[in-house]
Amino acid sequence: MWYNTKVTKMLGIDYPIMQGPFGGGLSSVELVAIVSNEGGLGGYGAYTLSPQEIVEADNKIRAATNKPYNINLWVSDNDTPTGTVSDEQYEQAKKIFKPYFDEAGIALPEKPAPFISRFENQVQVILDIRPRVFSFMFGVPSADILEQCRKSGIKTIGAATTADEALVLEDAGVDMIIASGFEAGGHRPSFLAPAEQSTTGSFVLLQLIKEKVKTPVIAAGGIANGRGVVAALTLGADAAQIGTAFLACDESGALPVHKQMLFSDAAKYTTLTRAFTGRLGRGISNRLIKDLTGKEKQFLPFPLQTTFMSSLRKAALDQQKLDMVLFWGGQIAPILKHKKASLLMRSLIEETTEIMRTSHEQNLSI
Ligand SMILES: Cc1cc2nc3c(=O)[nH]c(=O)nc-3n(C[C@H](O)[C@H](O)[C@H](O)COP(=O)(O)O)c2cc1C
C-alpha cells in the first residue's frame, strides 16, 4: 500500500503525510494533535520560544495526542556575527523604510537590541522532553547533539534546498531529509549557498537529492492535495510535508486575516523576499515588497529586520493597510479548499488512495 513507506515505519505513523511546522507563533497545539491523531505527523515550530515555553507547548501536545509528533527548531537563528549592526546599517534601513512608518503614522523603531542565539538552550529542552521527532532547518546540529538524539530514540529530520545540503545532512547521520522546493511558503532554509542561489523547484530537487542520498527523503513545497502526494511518492519521496494548506486551516495559529488572504485572489501571486525578516522567504506579494526590490543591501540581517518591522506590522494590521504586511504562503495557495485540518487530512488520504487504486487498475488492464 502507498502508505507503507520507510518514513511511516521509522516514525510509527499510519500515513506518510506531515504537517509542516510553522515558526513565529503560527503553529498550534490543536493543529499538531489533529494531524497526528488522524495518522499523519503533526509539527510544532518552536524556534522563537524560550526553553520553558517549549516545555509548556510539549506538555499540551502530549495531553492532546498519544501519537508521534515533531518539534522543530532553527539551528542557525542569527545572521549577525555580533548579534547587532552598526549605526550606519541601522540608518540605511531607517531611510528606506521611513515612508511606510510615516504612512502608518508611527515612529521609526530604536536600533534593535543585540540578539543572542537561542538554539543551544532550546535543543537542550528537546533532549530532555524527547519528542518522537526533532526536525530542524538552517543547518545541521553538532555531532554530539545528533548522537544524543540517536541514544534517546529521537528521530531527526534536516531540511535541504540543494543536493549538496542533502549530502551534508546524510554525512551527519540524520534519519530523514526534507527536500524543500522553492514553491514552499515560509523561509528558504538554505545553509550552504545563499538562498537566492538555492531555488530549485520541489520535484526537480527531490529527484536530484534521490540520486545522491540513501536517507529517506520527504518532499516539501507545492503539495496540497492527493495528486501532489502521489506525484511526490512516485518520484521517490517517502513522505510529503504540507505547509500552506494546513496554515490556512482554522486550527493553525495564523491570524484570521492571514487565512482570508490565503483563500483570496491575492494568493495567486507570491514572492521570495528578505524585506520582512532579513532572510529569504515566500509570502503573498505586496506593495512594500515590490517597492523595495533591489534595495536588499539596506535591510537589516536576520532576525534584527523582524524586530525592526514589528511595530509597522502591528500598526498596518490595526489600520487594515494590508499591502504593507507579509502574509506567508506558498505558490500552491490558489488551489486550497479545506478550512478544517481533519477534513484536509482525510481528503489527502482519500484522494491519494483513489488515484493509486485507479492507476493500479489501469496498469492491470494494459
Ligand atoms: C508560515 C510558515 C512558517 C514556516 N516555519 C517553518 C519553521 O519554523 N521550520 C521549518 O522547518 N519549516 C517551516 N516552514 C516550512 C513548512 O514546514 C513546510 O515545509 C512548507 O510550508 C511546505 O511547502 P508548502 O507551503 O508549499 O506546503 C514554514 C512554512 C510556512 C508557510
Report helix, strand or coil for 281: strand
What is the Å distance from ligand 1's center to 259 Cα?
15
What is the Å distance from ligand 1's center to 272 Cα?
13
Residues counted in the chain: 366
- Residue 281 backbone dihedrals phi, psi, to 5 degrees: -150, 160
- Answering whether pTM is above 0.95, one says yes
Asked if residue 73 has its Cβ within 6 Å of ligand 1, the reply is: no
Contacting residues for 351 by C-beta, under 8 A, at least 6 apart: 225, 226, 227, 229
pLDDT in tens, 165-213: 999 999 999 999 999 999 999 999 999 999 999 999 999 999 999 999 9
Is the alpha carbon torsion for 348, 181, 339, 53 positive or negative? positive
pLDDT in tens, 66-119: 999 999 999 999 999 899 999 999 999 999 999 999 999 999 999 999 999 999
CB 32 within 8 A of CB 59: no
- Point out the ligand 1 atom lying closest to the alpha carbon of residue 180: 19
Asked if residue 112 has its Cβ within 6 Å of ligand 1, the reply is: no
Predicted confidence at residue 359, as pLDDT, reads 87
What is the Å distance from ligand 1's center to 281 Cα?
10
